[in-house]
Structures are given as C-alpha cells and as structure tokens.
Amino acid sequence: MRRFFKKIFQSKPDIIQYRWFDDGKVCLSLVKYKGGFCYLLERPWIPSERPGGKPFESCVPTGRYRMEPFKRPSGEQVWRLINEDLGVYAEQKDLPAPGKGRFLILWHVGNNVADVVGCGAPGLGQELLPPMVTQSAKAMDRLMESMGWRELTLEIVDAVI
C-alpha cells in the first residue's frame, strides 16, 4: 500500500480540485479533469484533534488522495477518498485506533450541504445564495464517462482568487 502512495505522489494527478469558497457553512471548489471541469460542494474545513478534520462536519484536508471506485449498498457507483497519512481511510476497520482518523469519504450525487456529511458532491453549475451545486447526477455521469470508474489520483489545493 505504501508503495502505491509513493507512486501517486510522484506522478501528475488525474483530477485537481481548487477550493475557492469557504464561508464556515459550506465549501465550493472548481474541479479540473481530463476532458472538462465541474464544481464540488463540501462541508467547510473544521480542524480537529483527530487527523483528517472533524468527522461528519468537515471536508478533508488539502493534499493528494487516492480515489477508489466504491459501490454503495444502494448500487450507486461513487469514489471514496483515501490518504492514510492525512487520516483518511477506506473503512472504519482501517483506522489505527478508535477516533484516529476518518473513513468512507465519498464523492457522490448531491446538491446542497445537507446532502454531504463529510463527503463531496460534484455539479455542472453552482449558486452562492444559497450555496449549492446543480445537475449533480449529470456531473457524476460526465466524470464517469471521461475518467472511467477506476482508481484515480486527486490533488486538493486551496485557491486564492
């Protein structure tokens, strides 16, 4: 596993997420990938004593992640984010100890902050009042068509406008 992470940190990421808006209630990003771009809605960044940010209330920290294909119990195809060095794990069983990180952080369909509990929701459009993304299902379809439902690398950066 560590060898894989070393490899992804030395290569160009498949997807770059530029966080540009965080008002303490919601976080919006521009996401650039092969063949296009979309927006991403997340919860705001809330630091925590535990690595990875505050569970169920915060987005994940900036950095590089492995995006792994994951099928939800509903059958929905999504991606889950993993970077153990930043305290973000695939499953609860992967945590080094209780309360030592976060798990099951997904990119899935959603339009407003109530739809994302620590996860991210892509959209083709965005609105600031209220902060939300639009056409989320279409955005996920475009990501899947362009990138394929496969393992990807994601780089999350803070953008200054």
pLDDT of residue 13: 96
Q: Is the dihedral of CA 140, 141, 142, 147 positive or negative?
A: positive
pLDDT of residue 8: 47
Q: Are 63 and 45 in contact (CB under 8 A)?
A: no
Range of the domain at 46: 2-158
Please give the span between the terminal C-alpha atoms of the chain, in angstroms, as a whole number. 36
Report the predicted TM-score, pTM, of the whole model to 2 decimal places. Answer: 0.89
pLDDT in tens, 25-81: 899 999 999 989 999 999 999 988 888 999 989 999 999 999 999 999 999 999 999
- Computed over every residue of the chain, the mean pLDDT equals 91
pLDDT of residue 31: 97
pLDDT of residue 61: 95
Ranges 6-10, 16-20, 83-87, 141-145: which has the least confidence = 6-10
Please provide residue 150's backbone torsions phi and psi, each rounded to the nearest 5 degrees.
Answer: -145, 175
User: At a CB cut-off of 8 Å and minimum separation 6, what does 44 contact?
Assistant: 22, 23, 24, 25, 26, 27, 58, 59
The total number of structural domains in the chain stands at: 1
